[in-house]
């Protein structure tokens, strides 16, 4: 079965980015000139996922408005003959079929994913975190979709991090999966959410891309609050890893070696803006020249 549905949770409180996120979801913060979440929707669409469900929280309106048409803005640009900006404004509306469902209370990422149950039904689907950017030049989601189709289980994305950073992430215990024919595709044998360095099973951190077997919904329904009092997707994945393939179990990992930015973290957000802008043909040359001069003043 070809996977078509993408779920994008965007209902977190974004406390690490306050006060900017007091009334704006962190997923709407601009990365150069597009909100972070638009990059994520573009990534989903590029991988063939044209049915997008966003899980929204208290400030749903800005998100919904961004993916809706704005007739008065479009007519103003049309009247001015500004076809380039008109195309940019229309692009977010025409990208995909975007649906919204509300997570009443931010009870955790696992609970946010469970809110997608009715829309997704009984088919495998992708989850992309709306504040986690994967550079469009680096392949990840398509590899994960292919591994899900091959195994029938669930697939997570893993990033090698410094051991002193593991406590910030979900962490995976893995073993080789020779059938994949790629040492960066592994079988996941266990998962722990934000472990202390001493208890971490590896330095492989779970990042914000998942392709899930729908059995995850049944597991989430019986998963109680975990770390931080939140219903953790990591805990449900740990259960799936111990279940048999006949019951929709089995978890695999793809180790990602490309560029990734957590835009919910202020420092990573700044790095994302600078790196993406420096690579853009319209802004890059001037920004690079200025950066070189600026960096020289720092030493």
Give the max Cα distance, the chain: 63
129 binds ligand UTP (CB under 6 A): yes
Q: 19 or 181, CB closer to ligand UTP?
A: 19
| Contacting range for ligand UTP; rule: CB under 6 A; set: 93-101, 128-136, 270-278, 291-299 | 128-136
**How far apart are CB 51 and ligand UTP at their closest, in Å?**
18
130, 153, 249, 250: residue in contact with ligand UTP (rule CB under 6 A): 130
Q: Does 126 bind ligand UTP (CB under 6 A)?
A: no
Site membership for ligand UTP, residue 224 (CB under 6 A): no
Binding window for ligand UTP (CB under 6 A); candidates: 103-111, 155-163, 195-203, 235-243: 103-111
Helix or strand run (H / E) with residue 193: strand 185-193
| Residue choice 4, 90, 107, 117 for contact with ligand UTP (CB under 6 A) | 107
Q: Which is nearer to ligand UTP, 103 or 202 (CB)?
A: 103
Q: CB of 8: closest distance to ligand UTP in angstroms?
A: 8
Q: What's the closest the beta carbon of residue 93 comes to ligand UTP, in angstroms?
A: 22
How many residues sit close enough to ligand UTP to count as binding (CB under 6 A)? 21
The angle formed by the CA atoms of residues 136, 60 and 141, to the nearest 5 degrees, is 25
Distance (Å) of CA 240 to CA 153, 160, 245, 248, 254 = 9, 22, 9, 8, 17
List the beta strands (DSSP E) in 26-145: 30-31, 34-35, 51-56, 97-102, 125-128, 132-134
Question: Measured from the CB of residue 120, what is the shortest distance to ligand UTP in angstroms?
Answer: 15
Among positions 12, 35, 226, 249, the unique one binding ligand UTP when judged by CB under 6 A:
12
Q: Are 93 and 67 in contact (CB under 8 A)?
A: yes
Min dist CB 64 to ligand UTP, Å, is 15
Torsion angle of alpha carbons 148, 173, 128, 256, nearest 10°? -80
| Nearest CA-CA partner of 271 in 293, 296, 291, 297 | 291
Minimum Å gap between C-beta 204 and ligand UTP is: 18
DSSP state of 224: P
| Contacting residues for 25 by C-beta, under 8 A, at least 6 apart | 10, 11, 12, 14, 37, 56, 57, 59, 62, 63, 130
When asked if residue 16 is in the footprint of ligand UTP (CB under 6 A), the reply is: yes
DSSP 23: S
Binding-site member from 109, 174, 216, 238 for ligand UTP (CB under 6 A): 109
Q: How far is the CB of 247 from ligand UTP (least distance, A)?
A: 26
Q: x/- binding map, residues 25-64, to ligand UTP, per CB under 6 A?
A: ------------------------------x---------
* Long-range own/partner contacts, residues 70-74 (CB < 8 A, 24 or more apart): none
Token digits for 229?
């009092």
Figure out which of the listed residues 38, 92, 103, 202 binds ligand UTP, where binding follows CB under 6 A: 103
Say how far apart CA 76 and CA 95 lie, in whole Å: 22
Kindly state the smallest distance separating residue 285's Cβ from ligand UTP, in Å: 33
**Binding interface with ligand UTP (CB under 6 A):** 9-17, 55, 103, 106-109, 111-112, 129-131, 264
């Amino acid at each position: 079965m070809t996977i078509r549905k993408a779920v994008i949770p965007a209902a977190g409180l974004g406390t690490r980015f306050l006060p900017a996120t007091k009334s704006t979801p962190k997923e709407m913060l601009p990365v150069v000139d597009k909100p972070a979440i638009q990059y994520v929707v573009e990534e989903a669409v590029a991988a063939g996922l044209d049915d997008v469900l966003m899980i929204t929280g208290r400030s749903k309106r800005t998100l919904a408005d961004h993916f809706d048409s704005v007739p008065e803005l479009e007519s103003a640009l049309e009247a001015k003959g500004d076809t380039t900006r008109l195309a940019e404004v229309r692009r977010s509306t025409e990208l995909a079929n975007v649906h919204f469902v509300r997570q009443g209370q931010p009870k955790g990422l696992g609970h946010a994913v469970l809110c997608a149950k009715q829309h997704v039904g009984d088919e495998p689907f992708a989850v992309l975190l709306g504040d986690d950017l994967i550079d469009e030049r680096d392949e990840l989601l398509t590899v994960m979709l292919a591994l899900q189709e091959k195994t029938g289980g669930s697939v997570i994305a893993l990033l090698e991090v410094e051991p002193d950073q593991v406590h910030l992430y979900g962490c995976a215990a893995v073993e080789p999966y020779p059938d994949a024919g790629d040492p960066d595709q592994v079988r996941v044998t266990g998962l722990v959410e934000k472990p202390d360095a001493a208890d971490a099973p590896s330095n492989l951190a779970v990042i914000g891309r998942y392709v899930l077997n729908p059995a995850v919904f049944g597991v989430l329904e019986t998963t109680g609050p975990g770390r931080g009092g939140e219903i953790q997707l990591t805990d449900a994945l740990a259960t799936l890893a111990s279940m048999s393939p006949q019951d929709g179990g089995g978890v695999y990992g793809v180790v990602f070696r490309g560029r990734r930015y957590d835009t919910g973290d202020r420092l990573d957000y700044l790095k994302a803006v600078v790196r993406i802008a420096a690579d853009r043909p319209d802004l890059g040359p001037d920004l690079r020249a200025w950066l070189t001069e600026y960096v020289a003043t720092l030493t």
